[in-house]
Structure 1
Amino acid sequence: MNDDVQTVDINGQPYNRSLMVLVMLIGAFCTFLNQTILATAFPALMNAFNISTSTVQWLTTGFLMVNGIMIPVSAYLTSRFNTKSLFIISMIIFEIGTVMAWLAPHFSVLLAARLIQAVGVGINMPLMQNVMLSIYPPEKRGSAMGINGLVIGLAPAIGPTLSGWVIDNYNWRMLFEMIAPITGVVIIASFFFVKNVIPNEKPHLDWLSVLISTAGFGSMLYGFSSVGDKGWTSPEVIWTVLIGVILVAILVLRQNHLDEPFLEFKVFESKEFTLATILSSIVMMAMVGVELVVPMYLQIIHGMSAFHSGLTLLFGALLMGVMSPVTGTLFDRYGAKRLAATGMFILTIGTIPFAFLNRDTPTIYIVFLYAIRMFGISMVMMPVTTAGMNSLPLHLISHGTAVNNTLRQVATSVGTAIMISVLTNVTKSNQPAHSLLTQSPLQYRSKMLDATLLGYHSAFLFAVGFAVLGFILTFFVTKGTGVRKSVVSIDEPKKKDGDK
């Protein structure tokens, strides 16, 4: 890019913006890929370590919990440490976890490795978004965030397919072995191409707020992630979610009374940001729940292998990756409202047919429908997020990023919990009597499939509900790009007496 010559860091030194973004995008791709890289590897891991389903699930549950706990801390870290050091540290932490997972002799070591990886991802994820919003002017942020959306949407989406292919052809250790050298190259390249682009301060860190945040969000995420196994009526689920909600409420109250808040919840005084956060959270609920349920439907109803069920989602993932930069450019030109409304309408239309799937639904039909949904999501996710961030003053962008990503993480857990619990409960309530299994095995199997299908239909109807709610909310999105003109209550810090 020609403007790279004029691009300077916070010290006034010129740097190559394109190379910096490329290095950070490759690093982010490696970290984001790990969110779903074990999706189809659980059976292999259960055999390798002789563990149960509930135990192996902690490789994902624990990862998402630590990731969710780290994101709120990111606003402080971004302000306190320079961009280059923070990015390199996050990638080194991630690399340590990756190498540990690759060589893990026991399941406990593998789990510890996943938690270490999650710390790196929890720092890297919001940092990448903050950098993209800082190094591009508001009128170009749509395109920049579109490129960022390519990584955010594509990496986790191809995880199940890649995982299935590796497990079928190699062994589970290859999932980490192939990422380790790429991460190593990114770390080395970071010393040369990543620059300090976000101004730093020395904010006071309220350790009590960190403790409350960790316990609150950790408890909520654990509770929602346990719904699939234990159900909504489980005392463990009820109490962990309730404790989490109470602690988060205490956190919000405490932050609003601190001179230097650990997490600035005043970002919600911007109506554009609040609406953008709600919309992006709803989209995540509609997207992730279906991403989880569709492969289950294909494996149980159609008898597909894990690899082939994951492969059916690949076209939609690639389409979303291709469309993210395109929708980013369109956002810069037309704003968020038209894109968001069109995208949510497409998402709704593409989700409705899933509620009517049967035993004989062609796989190609599911591939097509899923691609339509991902096309719609690509028109909503990054445009509304960018519009929301554009409504904030520069000094609140790191806080806005942390709040937005944290709530999206919680929404993902809630959406998944709702869809899995609906699927499980409806299936159980409609399954045939066990005595039929001995009397007429074929009839029992047929009725069991019908009950399972009814469970899938009900789960997909909830996804339709999420999409419809999101579509209604798009009518309240502003027509422009959300670039802030004046936000009195969350304005830039006022100059003190004597400041020039």
Structure 2
Amino acid sequence: MTTIAGQQQETIKTTPILISFLIAGFIGLFSETALNMALGDLIQQFGVGSSTIQWLTTGYLLTLGILVPVSGLLLQWFSTRQLFIAALAFSVTGTLIAALAPSFSILMVARVIQAIGTGLLLPLMFNTILLIFPIHRRGAIMGLMGLVIMFAPAIGPTISGFLIENLSWHWIFWVSLPFLVFALVFGIMFMQNVSVITKPKIDITSIVLSSLGFGGIVYGFSTAGESGWGSFIVIASIAVGFVSLFLFSIRQFKMDQPMINLRVFKYPMFTLGLAAVFIAFMVILSSAILLPLYLQTGLGLAAVTAGLILLPGGVLNGLMSPITGRIYDKYGPRGLVIPGFSIIIITLWNLSGVTTATTAVTIVVLNTLLMVGVSLVMMPAQTNALNQLPKDLYPDGTALMNTLQQVSGAIGTAVAITIMSSTQSTYMQTVSDPNSASAIPEALTAGVQNAFTFGLVLAVIGLVISFFIKSVHLAKEEAPQGKVVENT
């Protein structure tokens, strides 16, 4: 137990706080990834194309890309309890609407509401962990978070496949709802305020520029799947996004109290770690949407079978997180991140050669290796990046880390689907009989091959970056001001 002098002290019980975040994060990520297995059914039920159905994922990420940058400001305006309860309230509301959704548009609205909850929860979770746990324990705690959070996307496709086969996709959300309600009640009972509320000045111009910047980039990349990369709306959206971010950055450096303090980029390990996480997240989210489509359409497997094939990799990813966290605490990030990207490269090379004759066992092995590689990269790179920041920059660092993760996920998903769809169209134009039973699976598989090649290029860039990442060694930190930290 660490004691800080002060007139009024409050005991921070770290275990209930950690449990509250783990339950909420687990269910949030479960409902996000579980829906991927239902995309094939949703395309048929709602009568939309793959480029449109991807908005259930990219629209979710677009909302996060707009909201999460503001989270650094929100963390300084509202207490930990207020933000946690608000996040869970949005998640519960969005999940209930999704469970009842009769159409694509209603489901899309529900996903946006869910994303607001996640957008509030993620930065709050990481900022709180940084405040209540000392630097020498963060690797293990991040690993524990990874164990629980990574297990959600692991079992998500399997459970959703079973639900789709026996009930309907609506039950993906009905199953999630009681757990979210429990997380909300548990948080109301045990969540404590650990942050210092400073209420900095709200700069509307910065909020507008941030929203236009991150939102424009995500929207432009996402729309490219339907409109094509040469369309005016795509080019204009991406251009507006980059120009807005440029103006946003200039404004932040000139402000005494910036919305997001971009001086975090002067810390080299933060910048390199952010780049590594950015790439890893692009790879994992693009793979998470490509593999279910390939397994169901390319190989003609049932949803529940496809979910079982993806299960071992996700489970192993979760089980490895505490191990990688403890290795990081002892030896630093390089011995994890470099082998991680190497494994990802080897796996994506093999996935870029899948065919309609590839066996299910091969996909199990390749997906498992991919998940192992990702687990070696994500938590160590993220923890090392945030560890280099001083305490006053934690809200800014976590806001940027989570924002760019979501933006990278949206870009990776959009580009992968665009590559897959365009290759499909080109392939169908070359076949002699487009109506043959084998044409559609072969066309989609060709698209998946090219999409995984895109991921392979990203992984090579990540490997180059990983050689420059070094371990961060800082002195042990004190507890939050006026608090007593009880690490149980």
TM-score normalised according to structure 1 size: 0.88
CA drift of 1:44 comes to 4.7
The one of 91, 97, 118 equivalent to 1:100 is 97
Residues 1:483 and 2:473 aligned together: yes
The one of 8, 16, 21 equivalent to 2:18 is 21
CA distance change for structure 1 residues 426 and 50 in 2, over 3 Å: closer, same or farther? Answer: closer
**Residue in structure 1 matched with residue 127 of structure 2 by the alignment:** 130
The one of 418, 430, 445 equivalent to 1:421 is 418
CA drift of 1:84 comes to 1.6
SS at match of 2:313: helix
What is the CA deviation profile of residues 259-304 of structure 1, one whole-angstrom value per residue up to 9, with x for unaligned ones? 1101111100000000000011111122222222222222232111
Which residues of structure 2 form unaligned runs of 5+? Answer: 476-488
**Residue in structure 1 matched with residue 433 of structure 2 by the alignment:** 437
Contact residue 35 and residue 64 of structure 1 kept, 8 A? no
**Residue in structure 1 matched with residue 152 of structure 2 by the alignment:** 155
The one of 449, 454, 460 equivalent to 2:452 is 460
**Residue in structure 1 matched with residue 172 of structure 2 by the alignment:** 175
CA drift of 1:383 comes to 0.4
- What is the alpha-carbon distance in structure 2 between the residues aligned to residue 52 and residue 301 of structure 1? 16
- What is the alpha-carbon distance in structure 2 between the residues aligned to residue 11 and residue 361 of structure 1? 65
Which deviates the most, 59-68 or 122-131? 59-68
Contact residue 133 and residue 145 of structure 1 kept, 8 A? no
The one of 269, 272, 275 equivalent to 2:269 is 272
Residues 1:472 and 2:464 aligned together: yes
**Residue in structure 2 matched with residue 114 of structure 1 by the alignment:** 111
Q: Residue 334 of structure 2 aligns to which amino acid in structure 1?
A: K
**Residue in structure 2 matched with residue 496 of structure 1 by the alignment:** none
Identity %: 36
CA distance change for structure 1 residues 282 and 105 in 2, over 3 Å: closer, same or farther? Answer: closer
Residues 1:365 and 2:355 aligned together: no
CA distance change for structure 1 residues 450 and 323 in 2, over 3 Å: closer, same or farther? Answer: same
Q: Residue 387 of structure 1 aligns to which amino acid in structure 2?
A: N
Residues 1:196 and 2:193 aligned together: yes
Larger Rg: 1
Contact residue 151 and residue 318 of structure 2 kept, 8 A? yes
SS at match of 1:256: helix
The one of 31, 37, 43 equivalent to 1:40 is 37
TM-score normalised according to structure 2 size: 0.90
Contact residue 280 and residue 459 of structure 2 kept, 8 A? yes
CA drift of 1:107 comes to 4.9
Which deviates the most, 38-47 or 48-57? 48-57
Which deviates the most, 8-17 or 291-300? 8-17
**RMSD across aligned C-alpha pairs, in angstroms?**
2.7
The one of 288, 305, 309 equivalent to 1:308 is 305
Q: Residue 173 of structure 1 aligns to which amino acid in structure 2?
A: H
CA drift of 1:191 comes to 2.4
SS at match of 1:313: helix
CA distance change for structure 1 residues 453 and 57 in 2, over 3 Å: closer, same or farther? Answer: closer
- What is the alpha-carbon distance in structure 2 between the residues aligned to residue 380 and residue 446 of structure 1? 38
Q: Residue 403 of structure 2 aligns to which amino acid in structure 1?
A: T
- Higher relative CO (CA 8 A, sep ≥ 6), structure 1 or 2? 2
Which residues of structure 1 form unaligned runs of 5+? Answer: 486-500
CA distance change for structure 1 residues 9 and 61 in 2, over 3 Å: closer, same or farther? Answer: farther
**Residue in structure 2 matched with residue 493 of structure 1 by the alignment:** none
SS at match of 1:226: helix
SS at match of 1:14: strand
